Amino acid sequence: MAVAGLRGRRLNITMSVLAALVFMMQGFDQALVNSLLTVHTWVKTFPGIDTVNKTGARKEHNSKIQDF
C-alpha cells in the first residue's frame, strides 16, 4: 500500500505517529467531557443525563445514557 508515496519504514513510522495522536486526542476529549458532566449549567441544560442530583434507578439509567 502506497499512501502519498510512503512505503516500508516511513509508512510504519507515519502510521504509528498518527495512531498515537489519535489516542491522545481521544483521551483529551474524554477528560474534557467527563469534567463537564458535573458542572451545574451542563446538568441544567441536559437533565436527561443528570447523575449529580438523582439517586437509585434513575441515576443508574442516566449513567447508562451518558455512555452513549
In the chain, where the domains are located = 30-68
> pLDDT, tens digit, for every residue of 6-62?
888 989 999 999 999 999 888 888 888 878 888 889 888 988 888 888 889 998 898
Q: Tell me the helices (H) and strands (E) count for the chain, helix number first.
A: 3, 0
pTM for this predicted structure: 0.48
Asked if residue 15 lies in contact with residue 3, where contact means CB atoms within 8 angstroms, the answer is no
The letter for the amino acid at 49 is I
**What pLDDT is attached to residue 15?**
92
Phi, psi of 55 (to 5 degrees): -135, 170
Q: CA-to-CA distance for 12 and 15, rounded, in angstroms? A: 5
